[in-house]
Amino acid sequence: MRIRVEEAIRKLGYSPDPAASALASKVTYNIGLLLPSLTNTVFEDVLEGIYQGSEDTRFFIQIGDTRYSALKEEALIGTFLRQKPAGLIVTGFEQTEKARGMLAGAHCPVVQIMDFGEPPIDMSVGFDHEAAGYAAARHLIECGYRTPGAVGARLDSRSRRRLDGFRKACQEVGLWDEHRMVITPQSSSVGLGRHLLEELLSRDQSVDAVFCNNDDLGIGALMEARRRLISVPEQLGICSFHDMEMTQHMYPALTAIATPRFQIGKMAIDMLLAEIEEPHSVKRRNIDTGFKLVVRDSTRRAG
């Protein structure tokens, strides 16, 4: 009987209507993914992990681009929930009150990614951004740099906390001056990195090290240093953030805080699928992935 039916399916080229299925069963095989940006290389790797973890399952990843706007995010959460997703992955902890309410009341598991600290709405996987910024500062200080600065763009809460951590570590050893923190709401780019280093140097010519809030800025800073014939790492140490593939191939290679973006994506989808399969089966619901300092030539001073 089953065989006969399956033969007919093949012969007629039948395939079920997902809309009818969703209407009748009140659930779909869609997994909603909310990212603040798709044009930010940081999220490419997260995406890669999520795709890899959901390949060959019946689930379909539906991406929403919030453009770093909590309101757009709120609207998208509404749109997604209306479609009765099987699960939801959202970036960070900074949803609007209403969005948090919707997520808390959702009839599906929810994973918050890229951050660690606050208790999650449901589950979370990420790392502590303040600790990461702190680690960057400690590294520069231990390398002997004494006039550290920092540059940052597109200041979402996570970026801000990285800079907070950096500032804190510098203050602890009495090496901080707030003038050496150059930030802008503009979205980050290599060109902006060059510009921000320029601004930093114009504010304080004695700056001997800079923490760049992400790799675009790091590469930009490196190129600007090169243009000005400022030697890296001797005259200027550069520590980048995220460590995308490119940074290790720069010349000199960039020291960076490497963030486990692929792993975060993979763990998030794994947790989500497990929880969809068997509700309440996931035990560790709030995961700190940590980060890693990768020391390369851009901070490796002789002596």
Is 75 near a second copy (CB under 8 A)?
Answer: no
# of chain residues touching a second copy (CB under 8 A): 43
Torsion sign over Cα 287, 210, 177, 173: positive
Q: Return the range that interacts with a second copy (CB under 8 A); candidates 44-52, 89-97, 105-113, 204-212.
A: 44-52
Question: How many Å from the N-terminal Cα to the C-terminal Cα in the chain?
Answer: 79
Of 244-303, binders to DNA (CB under 7 A) are none
- Quote the least distance from Cβ 33 to DNA, whole Å: 23
39 binds, among DNA, a second copy, none (CB under 5 to 8 A by kind): a second copy
Query: Toward a second copy, which CB reaches closer, 137 or 182?
Result: 182
- Binding of DNA at residue 13 (CB under 7 A)? no
Encoded amino acid at 136, one letter: A
Cα dihedral 74, 75, 79, 82 in deg (nearest 10)? 60
Report the distance separating Cα 85 and Cα 62, nearest Å: 9
Nearest to 194 by CA among 160, 159, 211, 218: 218
83 is an interface residue for DNA by CB under 7 A: no
Cα separation of 136 and 130, whole Å? 10
Q: Could you tell me how far CA 271 lies from the centroid of its own chain? A: 18
Which residues in this chain contact a second copy in the complex, by CB under 8 A? 15-20, 22-23, 28, 38-39, 41, 44-45, 47-48, 51, 60, 62-63, 65, 78-79, 82-84, 189-191, 193-194, 216, 219-220, 223, 226-227, 245-246, 248-251
Which residues in this chain contact DNA in the complex, by CB under 7 A? 1-2, 14-17, 20-21, 23-25
